[in-house]
Chain A
Amino acid sequence: MLDATPDRNRVDAAVPNRAGVGLKHEHHDAIVAAWEAGRVDVAWFEIHAENFMGAGGPPHRRLEWIRERFPLSVHGVGLSIGAEQGLDAAHLDRLAGVVDRYAPGLFSEHLAWSTHETHFLNDLLPVPYTREVADRVAEHIAQVQDRVGRRMLLENPSTYVRFTTSTLSEIDFLARVAERSGCGLLLDVNNVHVSATNHGYGARAYLDDFPLELVGEIHLGGHAEDADDLGDPLLIDSHDRPVVEPVWDLYAHVIETAGARPTLIEWDNDLPAWEALAAEARRANAILARHEADQEADHEAHAGAAGDTSMAGRDVVRR
């Protein structure tokens, strides 16, 4: 029973264009019950890699149960890719170990730093947007992709401050990093809303500029509202409550524009009952399904038009 038998009973690794949720051990029993009842509204799970860097025990046992039944995404939170200093080779080895052990369909990390000298600060800290920093980040990602042996998705951050030293827009920075490293992007729509509010720009305009063709995964989560020194809204990326309406609207806009993508509901603090989390996943699934239905309707309309006359048919085909 304690034998490790990886792969033997696992489902395929590919993460579908459906809703997944962040895996929390507090939900494990409810997930098992939903599975046994034949109704899990969640198509895949995402783990924080660092939580599975112990050698064994219940965390790995539960995760293997999940991996046998669901595709998985591994999301690193501690690699400090945006740091000035070189990557922590031992940590990169541990991360590669988690990826090797669980064979995820998606693998991602943050545009942030969290280690300074020898101290790990346990938060996702912002980087100045310059060409030099972008090139450093791209080198780090290339190193990660070499070691882990797969493409990484880099997540856009939520930020509370910007730097006077920045010379690039966030999007130009991300695009440069992606181009130089060959990584994809993880689009966190809540982070877009949080940063746009905090820095006074339009979230919709930001998304319209975003290189959506590079997006391999989407994150949705809840945020807290605070106020800055002048009493204006300061949104905090707290992952402790439901996704807000403006973020659902932005998400629907992204799906309409970019097409369906694997979409994660992130809820890391003040965890809700499993059913409340599953309800958030169902809402994302409804948006994805509506997009698919629209696509099919478009396709049928075109097919119908093609049947009308041979001239129109050729026209449709040529387009």
Chain B
Amino acid sequence: MSSGDEASGDPAGAGRAAFARALLDPSAPTPADLATLGGRPAAKRFAVYRNNVTLSLIDAVRAAFPSVRALAGAEAFDAAAARFVRESPPTSPVMIAYGAAFPDWLRAYPPAAARPDLADLAALDWALREAYHAADAPALSQTAFARLAAGLDDAGAGALAFDVHPAVRVVASEHALFGLWRRARGLEAEPEAGEGEPPDAGRTVLVTRPELEVSVYAAPAGSDAVVAALARGADLAEASAAGQARLDERATESDAEGRVFDLEATLRLFLHAGALLG
């Protein structure tokens, strides 16, 4: 029997705590209260549990972040995942929800310091996971929107408000995230930013799933702020102002010229992509 339980004096509880500690810590000794056939050493037997725990969690992280693994390389990714599962094991038995903390963890992972874009790519992989499992709901169609907006002047249209579809996620990056994701998934490379395209094209990425297929789009800069504003209950005028504010904020940071947020292009994409609730 192992040492007495710290809390309750219940020896079974203390055994369980030692068992749990040793599962995630390869340097921890094999628990003392294991019985084996003929009293033989228990190390390899206990190692089955240790391997099951560690490998199944690493598998879960692999499954959630296929793009990051493709670009980082399997070996480097698996090393990161092995460390992540020890430092940040799941707190829920719902494994489809395990990995939400990985993008931020990766941002602070020293071996990945030279590739800050990988953390954004991880955030995009996670956005796809969430969109896949999100609640089902009808998306607002272009014709339904046209009916609502028909005959309205600018002020009237600006007072319209829409709910965001539950499967919508937007990831805004300082890197050319959309192209990065396409490369990771083995899709055709996007053409270089064309004439008239802003230099930050492809840095904001929209994920939707109006029906069964998850879709990924390069979205206008500032559209992340529009989604956040609509989700808060803002109308289109307020949401557009939020989009402009996001552009201004970025312009100051990068010392670029101020630009005008394009609400019309953003709405066109949102309707095409099924980003608004019908």
Which of A's residues lie within 8 Å of B, judged by CB? 1-2, 4, 50-51, 53-61, 77-80, 83-84, 88, 91, 94, 113-123, 125, 128, 130, 132-133, 160-166, 198-200, 226-230, 232, 234, 236
Query: Which A residues are in CB contact (< 8 Å) with B60?
Result: 122
Question: Which residue on chain B has the smallest CB distance to residue A80?
Answer: B93
Residue of B nearest to A90 (CB): B92
| 15 extra interface residue pairs, beta carbon distance < 8 Å, beyond A122-B93, A161-B45 | A1-B211, A51-B95, A55-B136, A60-B136, A84-B13, A91-B94, A115-B93, A122-B53, A123-B49, A123-B56, A132-B12, A198-B37, A200-B37, A228-B40, A229-B45
* Measured CA separation A199–B45 after assembly (Å): 11
Q: Which partner residue on chain A sits nearest B40 by CB separation?
A: A230
A-B contact count (CB 8 A): 160
Complex Cα distance A56/B46, Å?
38
Interface assignment of B148: CB less than 8 Å from any CB of chain A: no
**B11 within 8 Å of A (CB atoms):** yes
Check: B81 CB closer than 8 A to any chain A CB.
no
Distance between Cα atoms of A236 and B96 in the complex (Å) = 25
For B92, list chain A residues within 8 Å (CB). Answer: 91, 120
Contact B136 A228 (CB under 8 A): no
By the criterion CB–CB under 8 Å, are B133 and A229 in contact?
no
Interchain Cβ contacts under 8 Å between A and B, 6 examples: A94-B94, A120-B89, A123-B53, A161-B34, A229-B45, A230-B40
Partner among A116, A165, A228 whose Cβ is within 8 Å of the Cβ of B17: A116
Q: Report B-chain residues with C-beta under 8 Å of the C-beta of A198.
A: 37, 45
Which B residues between 210 and 248 are near A, CB-CB below 8 angstroms?
211-212
> Whole-angstrom distance from the CB of A5 to the nearest CB of chain B?
12
Q: List the A residue with the shortest CB-CB distance to B57.
A: A122
Asked if A61 and B212 sit within 8 Å, CB to CB, the answer is yes
Task: Kindly supply a per-residue 1/0 record for chain B positions 111-130, scoring 1 wherever the CB is within 8 Å of any chain A CB and 0 otherwise.
Answer: 00000000000000000000
Contact A164 B35 (CB under 8 A): yes
Cα of A116 to Cα of B43 in the assembled complex, Å: 21
B91 touches A234 (CB 8 A): no
Give B residues with C-beta under 8 Å from A.
Answer: 1, 10-13, 15-17, 19-20, 23-24, 33-38, 40-46, 48-49, 52-53, 56-57, 60, 89-97, 131-138, 166-167, 209, 211-212
A55 & B135 in contact (Cβ 8 Å cutoff):
yes
Inter-subunit contact A229/B43 (CB<8 Å)? yes
Name the B residues within 8 Å of A51 (CB-CB). 95-96
- Please name all residues of chain B whose beta carbon is closer than 8 Å to the beta carbon of A55 when the two chains form the complex: 133-136, 166
Asked if residues A56 and B135 are in contact (CB atoms below 8 Å), the reply is yes
Bound complex: CA A56 to CA B43 (Å): 43
Within the complex, the shortest CB–CB distance from B165 to chain A, in Å, comes to: 11
A165 and B11: CB pair below 8 A?
yes
Q: How far is the CA of A234 from the CA of B37 in the complex (A)?
A: 11
- Cα-based distance from A56 to B136 in the complex (angstroms): 5
The interface residues of chain B lying within 8 Å CB-to-CB of A163 are: 15, 33-35
Shortest Cβ-Cβ A-B pairs, 3 listed = A78-B93, A54-B133, A116-B20
Contacts of B12 in A (CB 8 A): 84, 128, 130, 132-133, 165
Q: How far is the CB of A134 from chain B (nearest CB, A)?
A: 11
B42–chain A nearest beta-carbon distance, Å: 6
B93 and A160 contact, CB distance less than 8 A: no
B133 in contact with A234 (CB, 8 Å): no
- Asked whether B56 lies within 8 Å of A57 as measured between CB atoms, the reply is no
Q: How far is the CB of B47 from chain A (nearest CB, A)?
A: 9
- Which residues of A are found within 8 Å of B43, using beta-carbon distances? 229
B134 near A58 with CB under 8 A, answer no
Say which residue of B34, B96, B133 sits within 8 Å of A56 (CB atoms).
Answer: B133
Q: Which of B13, B44, B132, B136 contacts A234 (CB 8 A)?
A: B44
Looking at the complex, which one of B91, B167, B209 makes contact with A119 (CB distance below 8 Å)?
B91
